[in-house]
Chain A
Amino acid sequence: MAAPLLSVEDLRVEFGVDRNVFPAVDGVSFAVDRGATLGIVGESGCGKSVTSLAIMRLVSVPPGRYAGGAIRFDGQDLLRLPESRMRALRGGRMGMIFQEPMTSLNPVYTCGDQIVESLKVHSDLSARAARDRAIELLDLVRLPSPAKRVDDYPHQLSGGQRQRVMIALALANDPDLLIADEPTTALDVTIQAQILELMKDLQDRTGTAILLITHDLGVVAETCDEVVVMYAGTVVEQAPTAALFGDPQHPYTVGLMAAVPRIDVAADRLATIEGSVPPPWQVLAGCRFASRCPLADDRCRNEPPPLRAIAPAHRVACWHAPIDGAAA
C-alpha cells in the first residue's frame, strides 16, 4: 500500500504562557490517502480547527506552540520545514477553504486579482495567461458569467458565490490536498448542497484529497470516506464512514448521533449528552469524556484510554469498547 499523502502523528499543540499552558490538540494521529476525503467532526473547542491550522502551520506562535509529533506531507515533516518552503506549499500543493469567505477574501482586490496573484506566485504564467486561467477556474466552480465576475469585488457577490471564489482560489494551483474548515457552515442549506456537490465533482476530476473539518454529521455522512471524531483535543473514534454510522462505539459518538434531530426520522424527545465540554485548562488524569459519560468508572477517571482497534480500520478510545459487551 502506498504511503498516505498526509499523515499526522501524535500531534500536540499547546497554547498559553509560562505556567498557564494547556494543550488544544493532545496526541492526535490520522492519515489522508491521495484522492480520499477524511472528515474531522466534533463540537466547539474539540481542537479540529487548531489541527487544520497546524497542518498549514498557521497557528500563531506565540501564544501557540507545536509541542510534539509530526505532520508528514508527501514524506516531509511540515513542522521542520523552513518558512519559505512552507509558503510555497500553501496555496500551491495545499489549498485551504475557510468558513467565512467574506473575511478570508481581501475586500480591496477583485476576485480575479486574488486568483491571479496566487497563480503568479506559484507558477511563471504571464499576466494574460493567469487572467485567462482565473476565468477558467471561476467557470470550473460554476460562477455565473465568469468573464464578467472576474472583475467583481468580494462584496458584490453573494455568500455562496464568495465561497465558490474561495474554492477557485484554493484549487488554482492543482493542490494535492484541500483543507476545508467548515466550508458550508455559513451558507443556506440549498447553497450548501450546491457547494458540497461542487467539491465532490472537482475531486472526481482533479483527484485532490480533501480534509473536511465540520460539526455537522449530516455533511460528514454525505461526503467523507473516513471520519475522525474529536473531543476535547483528542481523537475518540476513527472509522470508515459506513462503519462509524453503522456501528458507533464511543459513548460520545453515540450521544452526538442521537442528539441530532433527523428530518427523516420521528422521535419524541432528543437524546442529550449531560453537562458540557471541560475547559482545556482543566487537568484531567483519565478519559476527558468521563465527567459526562454514564459508563465512566474509576479506571476511566484515572487512566486515559488508548485509541485501539476493535475492527479493521475502526479505532476507539474507550475502556468500555466494544460497548455492547457492557450491556450484560
Chain B
Amino acid sequence: MSALLQVEGLTKHFPVRRGILRRIVGHVQAVTDVSFAVAAGETLAIVGESGCGKSTTGRALLRLIEPSAGSIRMEGTELTTLSPARMRQMRRQMQIIFQDPYGSLNPRMTVREVLSEPLLLHGVATPATLQAKVAEVLGLCGLSSFHAERYPHEFSGGQRQRVGIARALATRPKLIVCDEPVSALDVSVQAQIVNLLQDLQRQLGVAYVFISHDLAVVRHIATRVAVMYLGRIVEEAPAAELFAAPLHPYTRSLIAAAPRPDPAAGRAKASVEGDAPSALAPPPGCAFHPRCPVAVERCRSERPELRGIGPTRVACHLAEPATDRALPRPLDADTPLARRLAVLAAARARKQEGTAA
C-alpha cells in the first residue's frame, strides 16, 4: 500500500519555562513517537480523552504546530523540512476543519471572501471563474449560492460548520484533518454533518484524519482507529476490529464507558479509576498502569512497545489475541423505533413527490 500520508516517530514536546530567566524546567510530552499511515480516500480516526495529544497530532501534521521530531511524508514529500513557501503550497493538498466554526471564521468576511482566498491563493480559480467555483463548493456542502453574501454570524451552528467544510474543500485537498468537527453541534445537526463528510468522501475521494473523543461517531465514520493515551498510540486497528475485539485495557474501558441510548443495555461501567496523569511527568513503564485494572509488576517498569496481533497494533504487555468478539448488532427492522422511522421516511417521500409534481 502506498500511503497518502506517512507519519513516523512524530513527537512534540512543549518546553515549560519558569523564573525570571525563563529557564526550561521540564517538557509537556504532548505527543511522543507517533507513527501511522493514511491511505487515499480512507478515514483514520484518532480518539482519546482530553490531553492525550490528539489535537496536537492533527495540527502538527499541517505544521500549524512545529513538530519536535519525526517525519511526515505527504505523497512522498517530506513536510518537516519544507520551506515556509513550499509548505504553503503543500497546504493546497492538506486542509483542516476545526471544532468551533465560529472561532475559526473571520467575522468580518462574507462567506464569498472566506472561500475566495484559498481559491485565488492556490490558483484553483481565476477572477473570471471565481463566481462559479464558489457556487460549486457551496453546493457540494449543501449551501446555496445566496449564502455567499452572508457573514458567519448569520448562520446556525450546523451551517457554519458547512462553511468551515466548504473552505477546507475549496482547494480540493487530498487530505482533511477534522479536529472534533461535530462535538459542538446538537445531535440532529451532528448527524447531518457526519453524513455530509461521508458523502464528500465518496464523491471526491478525500481522506480524513478524524480527531474525536466520541467513540460512537468514530465507529460510524472511521476506516481505521488509533487510540491515544498520554501522547502515545496505545492501539491501532481497522474500525470493525477495534470495536469487536479491543485488545488494550484502555480501549476496552473507553468503549465500556460510552453511554448507550438503550435502557435495556444496562449501565456503562466505570472500569477505570481516577484521572489521567500529567503529561509533564508521565508515569514510568506503561503510562496507563496507575489506572489499569489488570496491571502487573512488569507494567510499572517497562514501557510496552506497539506490536502486531492480527490486524491490530497494540502497546500492552498482556494483550493476547481476542477469543470472543462483540459483533455489532444490525439495526433491527422490527423495533418500534425502526417502524416509526419508516413511517416518517415514507411521509417525507410522499411530500417530495407532491412538491415535484
A: residues with CB less than 8 A from B are 43-44, 144, 158-161, 188-194, 196-197, 200, 215-222, 241-242, 245-249, 251, 254-267, 269-274, 276-277, 294-295, 323-324, 326-327
**CA A118 – CA B269 in complex, angstroms?**
32
Number of A-B contacts (CB under 8 A): 183
A262 contact set on B, CB distance < 8 A: 216, 219, 260-262
**CA A196 – CA B267 in complex, angstroms?**
10
Give the distance to chain B from A228, nearest Cβ to Cβ, in Å.
Answer: 16
B271 contact set on A, CB distance < 8 A: 190, 193
Are A324 and B339 touching (Cβ within 8 A)? yes
B351 contact set on A, CB distance < 8 A: 294
Q: Does B85 contact A (CB under 8 A)?
A: no
Further contacts, 6 of them, CB under 8 A, given A189-B254, A259-B190, A274-B348: A188-B49, A215-B187, A245-B263, A255-B344, A257-B261, A266-B330
Q: A264-B329, A266-B330 are in contact. Are A251 and B344 (CB under 8 A)?
A: yes
Are B328 and A266 touching (Cβ within 8 A)? yes
**CA A247 – CA B264 in complex, angstroms?**
13
Are B258 and A218 touching (Cβ within 8 A)? yes
Are B188 and A272 touching (Cβ within 8 A)? yes
- Out of A161, A189, A274, name the residue touching B257 (CB < 8 Å): A189
Q: Does B337 contact A (CB under 8 A)?
A: yes
- Out of A44, A160, A254, name the residue touching B344 (CB < 8 Å): A254
B318 contact set on A, CB distance < 8 A: none
Q: A43-B186, A245-B262, A261-B220 are in contact. Are A271 and B341 (CB under 8 A)?
A: yes
- Out of B186, B326, B348, name the residue touching A44 (CB < 8 Å): B186
Are A257 and B337 touching (Cβ within 8 A)? yes
B342 contact set on A, CB distance < 8 A: 327
A157: nearest residue on chain B (CB-CB)?
A: B275
**CA A265 – CA B337 in complex, angstroms?**
14
30 residue pairs bridging A and B, Cβ less than 8 Å apart: A43-B186, A144-B274, A188-B213, A188-B276, A190-B272, A191-B275, A192-B257, A193-B270, A196-B259, A197-B267, A197-B270, A219-B259, A221-B260, A245-B263, A246-B263, A251-B344, A259-B187, A261-B219, A263-B215, A263-B258, A265-B329, A266-B329, A270-B195, A272-B188, A272-B195, A276-B189, A323-B343, A326-B343, A327-B342, A327-B343
**CA A184 – CA B273 in complex, angstroms?**
16
Q: Does B21 contact A (CB under 8 A)?
A: no
Give the distance to chain A from B241, nearest Cβ to Cβ, in Å.
Answer: 14
Q: Does B210 contact A (CB under 8 A)?
A: no
Max chain B Cβ within 10 angstroms of own Cβ: one of A161, A216, A262: A262
Give the distance to chain A from B215, nearest Cβ to Cβ, in Å.
Answer: 5
A45: nearest residue on chain B (CB-CB)?
A: B186
| Interface of chain B, main secondary structure | helix
Counting chain B residues whose Cβ lies within 8 A of the other chain, the interface size class is 35 or more
- Out of B261, B330, B348, name the residue touching A217 (CB < 8 Å): B261
Q: Does B243 contact A (CB under 8 A)?
A: yes
| Interface of chain A, main secondary structure | helix
Q: Does B93 contact A (CB under 8 A)?
A: no
- Out of A197, A215, A264, name the residue touching B186 (CB < 8 Å): A215
**CA A263 – CA B159 in complex, angstroms?**
26
Q: Does B144 contact A (CB under 8 A)?
A: no
**CA A158 – CA B276 in complex, angstroms?**
9
Q: Does B109 contact A (CB under 8 A)?
A: no
A191 contact set on B, CB distance < 8 A: 49, 275
**CA A326 – CA B187 in complex, angstroms?**
26
Max chain B Cβ within 10 angstroms of own Cβ: one of A215, A221, A269: A221
Are B275 and A263 touching (Cβ within 8 A)? no
**CA A222 – CA B261 in complex, angstroms?**
8
Max chain A Cβ within 10 angstroms of own Cβ: one of B189, B254, B256, B345: B189
Are B191 and A242 touching (Cβ within 8 A)? no
**CA A242 – CA B265 in complex, angstroms?**
11
A294 contact set on B, CB distance < 8 A: 344-345, 347-348, 351
Among all A-B residue pairs, the 8 with the closest Cβ atoms: A218-B259, A188-B49, A259-B191, A193-B270, A217-B261, A294-B348, A43-B186, A294-B347
- Out of A43, A160, A189, A324, name the residue touching B187 (CB < 8 Å): A43
Are B328 and A265 touching (Cβ within 8 A)? yes
- Out of A249, A254, A256, A270, name the residue touching B220 (CB < 8 Å): A270
**CA A260 – CA B191 in complex, angstroms?**
7
- Out of B156, B187, B330, name the residue touching A256 (CB < 8 Å): B187
Q: Does B192 contact A (CB under 8 A)?
A: yes
Max chain B Cβ within 10 angstroms of own Cβ: one of A219, A254, A263: A263
Are A276 and B341 touching (Cβ within 8 A)? no
- Out of B158, B257, B336, name the residue touching A193 (CB < 8 Å): B257
B330: nearest residue on chain A (CB-CB)?
A: A266
